[in-house]
Amino acid sequence: MDKQILKQILRENQIEVERYVVNDRAVQLDGFPCRVLVGVRRAGKGE
């Protein structure tokens, strides 16, 4: 694959990612015996 094409794809995706807004959420999970957190990979679900 051409390096220039890869660079263009990376630039376009970087711009797209910067458009997303990150919202902190204070979620209380105490009192529930089971927990399932669903989301995209490597999105900080384990923190």
- pLDDT digits 0-9 by tens, 10-22: 888 887 777 777 7
Residue 24 lies in a domain: yes
Buried b (16+ CB within 10 A) or exposed e, 27-45: eeeeeeeeeeeeeeeeeee
Domain with 3, as residue range(s), is: 1-42
Number of structural domains found in the chain: 1
Residue 47 lies in a domain: no
Return the residue matching tokens 């997303």.
20
Rounded to two decimals, the pTM is: 0.36
pLDDT at 2 over 80: yes
Residue 10 lies in a domain: yes
Q: How far is CA 9 from the centre of its chain?
A: 18
- Tens of pLDDT, residue by residue over 22-46, are 778 787 777 778 777 777 777 666 6
Query: Tell me, what's the pLDDT at 45?
Result: 64
